[in-house]
Amino acid sequence: MATVTSDNLIDGRALAEEVHQETRETIARLLAQGLQPGLAFIRVGEDPASRVYVGMKEKACARLGIKSRTEVLPETVEQRDLLRRISELNADPTIHGILVQAPLPCHIDSAAVFNTLSPRKDVDGFHPVNMGRLLLGDPGGFVPCTPAGVQQLLLRSGVPVAGAEVVVLGRGNIVGKPLAALLLQKATGADATVTLCHSRSRNLAGHCRRADILIAAMGSPRFVTASMVKPGAVVVDVGVNRVEDASAPGGSRLVGDVDFEGVQPIAGKITPNPGGVGPMTIAMLLSNTARAAALSAGL
């Protein structure tokens, strides 16, 4: 087996700092005009992972100068009460972005939540208006943060995307579908030939071995193995999966959708997990928020 080094790692944390610096510059211009971007988080229930994720986003806001507010609603909240609170935040001029943290309780209709958000404050990019703009190639909307983060990872790592064979594993509404739409646009960092694979795809391994860029977003621990990857391919691991591990604190740990140890030696470039896509997702959320604040003032 080839010697494993860090030479082919795509450092998501370092690239996220590049995006953060650009966002800081935008915020500085807004502050000079008396406008501080505001971001509201809504968390329903006490899911441990949700608490951690929102906490990370709050800290990132504080570092960049975004005023954040977190509202925690009980697990048993009625849908109409959640939608009412979103509508109130839509009308609040000090709030420029709203993020409703997933997962939501099973009695809450996620589509109704996304539909209630103002498209101008939907910095997570899931309102039908923003998703439609993405599909149409209209830059006026907000792109979902993880797909946008993946695209920026590729761009800022010098990965040629135009004309590349890209295979996306996973057809979810949060990553797979919007990412495929984003990478096939006629635009910088796109112009790829995209294959979107899923659990019913035939010869899945064969599709993967064709890929110049392989993006795993299936939610299946260590699904992508070395035998599925073309030597020299760029591999992006979006997956977040908790698996049992008696040696880890709490008896479990997080792993991606890629068997990192097996795939890294043959990949041209690869994202670590953690430290790859995750930091970029947060960076794009804050970038979207700063842009939403600027748009609110006609800037």
- Please report, for the chain, the start and end positions of each structural domain, with discontinuous segments joined by +: 35-127, 145-278
Q: 155-173: per-residue pLDDT in tens?
A: 999 999 999 999 999 999 9
Instruction: Check for a shared fold between 35-127 and 145-278.
Output: yes
pLDDT at 3 (0 to 100): 38
- Mean pLDDT for the chain? 95
The rounded distance, in Å, linking the Cα atoms of 220 and 257 is 5
**pLDDT score recorded for residue 137:** 94
Position 250 scores a pLDDT of 79
Considering only CA atoms, which of 166, 173, 174, 118 is closest in space to residue 149?
174
Segment among 16-20, 83-87, 253-257 with least mean pLDDT: 253-257
Q: pLDDT, tens digit, for every residue of 199-224?
A: 999 999 999 999 999 999 999 999 99
The CATH code of domain 145-278 reads 3.40.50.720
- 35-127 domain in CATH 3.40.50.10860? yes
- Catalytic site residues? 57, 101, 124
Amino acid found at 75: E
Residue 241 pLDDT level (bands cut at 50, 70, 90):
confident
Is residue 2 very low, low, confident or very high in pLDDT (cuts 50, 70, 90)? very low
Q: pLDDT value at position 4?
A: 40
Q: Regarding predicted confidence, which is higher, 241 or 227? A: 227
Q: What is the pLDDT of residue 1?
A: 31
Report the pLDDT value the prediction gives residue 6, as an integer from 0 to 100: 73
SS3 of the chain: the string is: CCCCCCCCECCHHHHHHHHHHHHHHHHHHHHHCCCCCEEEEEEECCCHHHHHHHHHHHHHHHHHCCEEEEEEECCCCCHHHHHHHHHHHHCCCCCCEEEECCCCCCCCCHHHHHHHCCCCCCCCCCCHHHHHHHHHCCCCCCCCHHHHHHHHHHHHCCCCCCCCEEEEECCCCCCHHHHHHHHCCCCCCCCCEEEEECCCCCCHHHHHHHCCEEEECCCCCCCECHHHCCCCCEEEECCCEEEECCCCHHHEEEECCECHHHHCCCCCEECCCCCCHHHHHHHHHHHHHHHHHHHHCCC
pLDDT band at 249 (very low <50, low <70, confident <90, very high): confident
